[in-house]
């Protein structure tokens, strides 16, 4: 990947809404950060979740820092759709929230009140 690049790959039949992915990446991680977003099947999500988190079920998002200036976000769109109402959001807005959440993990944030403040800040910008 080229420094500061963005790549998206949809390996499913699910339709990915048009989101300002590059703008979000640049605002949260910086213009020099290399980010790839991959949409995978439930089976692949479950395999990755088991391999990396020892949790044997598919999940809506996984974040993988690769280097200090690059990372990957893995999404499972069917689970994103399923989970959206649990967060009082529609599919598109919940997907934005998850991309923000994933970017913050790549930036080094862990779950907690500091991360929640950052999520709220970026949700105000992108919703």
Domains of the chain: 6-126 (3.40.390.30)
Q: What is the Cα–Cα distance from 33 to 104, expressed in whole angstroms?
A: 13
* Residues found in the chain: 127
pLDDT at 58 over 60: yes
Overall pTM > 0.75: yes
**How confident is the model at residue 1, as a pLDDT?**
56
Q: Where are the beta strands (DSSP E) in 1-126?
A: 6-10, 34-39, 61-67, 70-75
Residue whose C-alpha is closest to residue 18's, from 115, 85, 112, 96: 96
Rounded average pLDDT over 69-95: 96
**How confident is the model at residue 13, as a pLDDT?**
83
Rounded average pLDDT over 85-105: 97
Q: What is the Cα–Cα distance from 101 to 50, expressed in whole angstroms?
A: 20
pLDDT 10s digits, 11-49 = 988 788 888 999 999 999 999 999 999 999 999 999 999
Q: Are 82 and 95 in contact (CB under 8 A)?
A: no
């Amino acid at each position: 990947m080229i420094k500061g690049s963005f790549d998206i790959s949809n390996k499913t039949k699910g339709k990915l809404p048009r989101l300002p992915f590059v703008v979000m990446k640049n605002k949260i991680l910086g213009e020099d950060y290399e980010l790839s977003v991959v949409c995978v099947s439930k089976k692949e999500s479950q395999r990755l979740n088991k391999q990396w988190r020892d949790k044997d079920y598919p999940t809506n998002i996984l974040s993988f820092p690769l280097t200090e200036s690059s990372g990957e976000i893995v999404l499972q769109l069917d689970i994103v759709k399923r989970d959206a109402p649990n967060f009082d959001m529609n599919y598109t807005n919940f997907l934005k929230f998850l991309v923000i959440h994933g970017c913050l993990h790549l930036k080094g944030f862990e779950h907690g009140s500091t991360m929640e403040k950052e999520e709220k800040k970026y949700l105000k910008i992108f919703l």
